[in-house]
Amino acid sequence: ADYNANHFFAERHSMVRGPYVEFAKKVAEETDGEINFTVFSAGSLLPPASSLQGVRDGIAQVTYHAGTYTPSELPIDNLIGNMAFYNTDPLVMAFASTEFGLTNPAQLAEWKANGVVYGGGYSTSQYFMQCNTPVRTLADIKGKRLRMAGGAWSRFAEFVGAVPVSMPSSEMYTGLDAGSLDCAVAAADALDSFSLKDVVTDMNTLAIGNYYAGFEWGYNVAFWQSISPENRRVLFNEMAYYLAEHRIAFDKDVEKAVNSAKENGMAVAEPDQALKDALAEFVVADEATLIANAKDRGVKDPEAILTEFKALVDKWDGLLANVDTTDVDALAALARSEIYDKLDETTYGVY
């Protein structure tokens, strides 16, 4: 049967190309056409802020959702999504947040309450400052206008004396070009995908977290109940594969973008020690804010949730140290053996 899949990134982005477009083809083949997703990209079906609602109402049967759009609906997801500075290895965060989303009881209850079956997570590559002026030291960053992803990122900007600016991603280019913005803080594939390399002269290698809040695949509950357990297993297997695939593809896109920006004359600089120290200080200080925010939104015992999440992050940090992180199949096998194979397709998400 025909179903709708929704993602708000453009179709050629590494988070859509593999995990949605190719995924849809493979799923159709392996379910003999029983599950045939039509992919709607770039928000042509649902606006970013409404994707959670849209999949719940069955406009789409599977969707991507950026968790920070719905802090009140998904307080636990936002709590861990804002832990972006604890470990800045995107591969670790993608796998750890996926395992957390599929297994943590409190998190599972949150998905259920929002009428969605969590399928798997993701992570962008590291966020870097991409600027039209050199920003290398803590002194440089003071007073600079940074386009931030909100939440912890904006708090970090203020912590180091910069000015966080909210701005739609479509205005980053003109903002940097005309100078109403000094830096865009985003994954560096933006140099290519948002053409920032035309206007960015300096990039700082300070890893300001990475973004993994929400989910790469969240399913409509009625859809999930209606498909056979065998087909659910097909989805599990393919999600495990594309969880690994998108990470490698994303990093490749970043590398390509940074290289071509360098050829264009972009300078890549290390942060000074003071800036690194400031980030480290911030990470420690911000945890209290995260916990307070979560409590305000009714999360019971956020400290315990953070501890569990950190344990998973540390676990994956160790597991991934022993694999070839450029080998999609090896990573996918790990995702299956450590996460998806342990799920029971006859009961998982059957609310």
Partner 1 sequence: MTMLTIGWLGVASLFGLLALRMSIGIALMIVSFIGIASMLNLTAAFGIVSALPFSFIGDWSLTAIPMFLLMGFVAANTGLTSGAFDLLKMLLARVPGGLASASVGACGLFAAASGSSIATTAAMSRIAVPEMLRAKYHPSLATGVVAASGTLGSLIPPSILMVLYGIFTEQSIGQLFIAGVVPGLISALIYMGMITVRCAVNPKLAPRTAEPFDMRRFLSLLWSVWPFPVLIMGVLGGIFGGFFTPTEAGGMGATLAVLIALLRRSLTWEAMRAAIRQTVVATSSIFFLSIGAIMFTRFMGLSGVPRSLTNAMLAVSDDKVVIILMVAGLFVILGMVIDSIGLMLLTLPILLPVLEAADINLIWFGIITIKLLEIGLVTPPVGLNLYVLHSALSGKVKLGNIISGTTWFIAMDLLTLILLIAFPALSLYLPALMAG
Partner 2 sequence: MLVGGLGIIVMMGNITLDVVLKVFWNAPIQGTVEISSYYYMVAIVMLPMALVEYDDEQISVDLLFNHFPDWLQRISLLITFFATAAILSVMTWRTGLDAVRAFKVGEVVMGSREIIVWPARCMLPLGFGLAAVAALLRAVLLVQGKPVTKLHDTESAA
For residue 297, give the amino acid letter.
R
Least distance to partner 1 from the beta carbon of 269, Å? Answer: 23
What residue has token string 């305000």?
296
Distance, CA of 207 to CA of 209 (rounded, Å): 6
Residue closer to partner 1 (CB basis): 134 or 229: 134
Residue closer to partner 1 (CB basis): 194 or 241: 194
Binds 39, which of partner 2, partner 1, none (CB < 5 to 8 A, cut-off by type)?
Answer: partner 1
Across the beta sheet with 116-120, the strand order is 36-40, 2-6, 62-66, 214-220, 116-120
Least distance to partner 2 from the beta carbon of 195, Å? Answer: 22
- Residues found near partner 2 in the complex (CB under 8 A): 49, 68-69, 71-73, 143, 145, 148, 150-151, 154, 157, 163-167, 180, 297
User: Cα dihedral sign for 26, 212, 165, 265?
Assistant: negative
| Beta-ladder partners of 187 | 127
Binds 145, which of partner 2, partner 1, none (CB < 5 to 8 A, cut-off by type)?
Answer: partner 2
Binds 272, which of partner 2, partner 1, none (CB < 5 to 8 A, cut-off by type)?
Answer: none
Residue closer to partner 1 (CB basis): 99 or 182: 182
Angle between the 90-103 and 302-321 helix axes, to the nearest 10 degrees? 130
What residue has token string 């344990």?
311
Closest-CA residue to 244 (of 328, 126, 339): 328
| Site stretch for partner 1 (CB under 8 A), options 44-52, 118-126, 241-249, 312-320 | 44-52
Least distance to partner 1 from the beta carbon of 43, Å? Answer: 7
Decide: 47 and 63 in contact? Cβ < 8 Å: no
What residues numbered 177-196 form the site for partner 1, per CB under 8 A? Answer: 177-180, 192-195
Closest-CA residue to 267 (of 208, 201, 205, 207): 201
What residues numbered 20-39 form the site for partner 1, per CB under 8 A? Answer: 38-39
| Site stretch for partner 1 (CB under 8 A), options 53-61, 100-108, 202-210, 314-322 | 53-61
H helix or E strand, kind and range, residue 238: helix 229-263
Residue closer to partner 1 (CB basis): 47 or 229: 47
Least distance to partner 2 from the beta carbon of 224, Å? Answer: 22
The single residue among 19, 27, 31, 40 that binds partner 1, judged by CB under 8 A, is 40
What residues numbered 193-232 form the site for partner 1, per CB under 8 A? Answer: 193-195, 198-199
Residue 168 makes contact with partner 1 by CB under 8 A: yes
Least distance to partner 1 from the beta carbon of 56, Å? Answer: 8
Decide: 64 and 58 in contact? Cβ < 8 Å: no
Phi, psi (deg, nearest 5) at residue 70: -130, 65
DSSP code string of 137-161:
SHHHHTT-EEE--SHHHHHHHHHTT
Binds 123, which of partner 1, partner 2, none (CB < 5 to 8 A, cut-off by type)?
Answer: none
Q: Which residues of 7-18 are buried (b: 16+ CB within 10 A; e: fewer)?
A: bbbeeebbbbbb
Closest-CA residue to 254 (of 92, 86, 121, 90): 90
H helix or E strand, kind and range, residue 1: none
Least distance to partner 2 from the beta carbon of 148, Å? Answer: 6
Distance, CA of 237 to CA of 243 (rounded, Å): 10
Least distance to partner 2 from the beta carbon of 132, Å? Answer: 16
Binds 4, which of partner 1, partner 2, none (CB < 5 to 8 A, cut-off by type)?
Answer: partner 1
What residues numbered 55-114 form the site for partner 1, per CB under 8 A? Answer: 56-59
Closest-CA residue to 18 (of 122, 169, 116): 122
Under the rule (CB under 8 A), what is the footprint of partner 1?
A: 2, 4, 10-12, 38-50, 53-54, 56-59, 166-168, 170-171, 173-175, 177-180, 192-195, 198-199
